[in-house]
Amino acid sequence: MTDQAESLRQKILAAREKKQRVISQPKEESLVKIYAVVSGKGGVGKTNISVNLAIAMAKKGKRVLLLDADIGMTNADIIMGIHYEKDLFDYLAGRASIEEIIYDGPMGIQVISGGAGLLEMDQLSKEAQERFIEELLSLGGFDIMIIDNGAGMGKEALQFVTFAHEVILVTTPEPTAVTDGYRVLKTISHYGLKESVKLIVNKVPSTAVGEETFEKLSYTCNSFLSIKLENCGYVFTDTRLEKAIMAQEPVLLSYPNALSSGNIESIAGIILEEHVFVKNISTLKQLGNRFRKIFGT
């Protein structure tokens, strides 16, 4: 066989394999764990943490789906050097199939851009919502879904917090970020959405500052809210992370030995270790029910 024919054959095989991966029916008992990444203030590092956490988990053998849910400001694509041609909005408008809105990210992670489609979800007909849920579930084969939200607790973030099993709050040590982070916790507590929230303190100059930030927020939570704050760790301020952004590459891939990469890998380890033991993981069927609940079908 000529080299050209062989390369064509490989391409066809790869395309077929991709198609199969996408449309293979998952087993109903497959377990999926959903994490919503939120913050009070913008610019605290949610997107970088979501993308790199997804990669760190994939490196540890997990199949991860990342939902880029910051409407109008989606930038997980920029960090990964992906160009979304179609998003959830196109899918909902009937301009794209579910396969066409899933992008292959680094380390085998799969990425969907929510785009403006997220604003439309609760206005859809019951049939359209059912179709989306079923098609999304039919992607199957993922263990973890990470939802990178916009800043604050808007309607969409609130829906995803309700929908997710776990909430990861990202803050920096800055007083404004901490205060806004506390407001998010207050909202979650007010609606009784979660009993515990995970905290990642980003852009710390030292472990001591990370610890102090956690202690401060945790103390306030214990005193005034019915939420337990879980410490997942700290990510140092790291110029290599900024360099990686400039190169449109996640830091974990550009600089696997960078301080921030190490920090995020250990945070992934902490979160995944719990993943094994924590009871509240959903089967795909339960996941479908959660979707139905938040979109009111």
Ligand X SMILES: Nc1ncnc2c1ncn2[C@@H]1O[C@H](COP(=O)(O)OP(=O)(O)O)[C@@H](O)[C@H]1O
Residue 95 pairs with which residues in a beta bridge? none
Q: Which of 8, 11, 25, 43 binds ligand X (CB under 6 A)?
A: 43
**50 binds Mg ion, rule: CB under 5 A:** no
184: contact with ligand X by CB under 6 A: no
CB of 167 to Mg ion, least distance (A): 16
180 binds, among ligand X, Mg ion, none (CB under 5 to 8 A by kind): none
The option from ligand X, Mg ion, none interacting with 203 (CB < 5 to 8 A, set by class) reads ligand X
* One of 30, 33, 40, 47 touching Mg ion (CB under 5 A): 47
Which of 22, 30, 33, 39 is close enough to bind ligand X by CB under 6 A? 39
3-class SS letters over the chain: CCHHHHHHHHHHHHHHHHHHHHHCCCCCCCEEEEEEEECCCCCCCHHHHHHHHHHHHHHCCCCEEEEEECCCCCCHHHHHCCCCCCCHHHHHCCCCCCHHHEEECHHHCEEEECCCHHHHHHHCCHHHHHHHHHHHHHHCCCCEEEEEECCCCCHHHHHHHHHCCEEEEEECCCHHHHHHHHHHHHHHHHCCCCCEEEEEEEEECCHHHHHHHHHHHHHHHHHHCCCEEEEEEEEECCHHHHHHHHCCCCHHHHCCCCHHHHHHHHHHHHHHHHHHHCCCCEEHHHHHHHHHHHCCC
Contact status: 241 vs ligand X (CB under 6 A): yes
Residue closer to Mg ion, measured from CB, 47 or 171: 47
Binding string to ligand X for residues 252 to 271, with x set by CB under 6 A, is what? --------x-----------
CB of 68 to ligand X, least distance (A): 10
CB closer to ligand X out of 140 and 181? 181
- Least Å from the CB of residue 280 to ligand X: 26
Shortest reach from residue 222's CB to ligand X, in Å:
26
Stretch that binds Mg ion, among 3-11, 42-50, 224-232, 281-289 (CB under 5 A): 42-50
Interface residue list for Mg ion (CB under 5 A): 46-47, 70
Contact set with ligand X (CB under 6 A)? 39, 42-48, 75, 202-203, 235, 237-238, 241-242, 245, 260
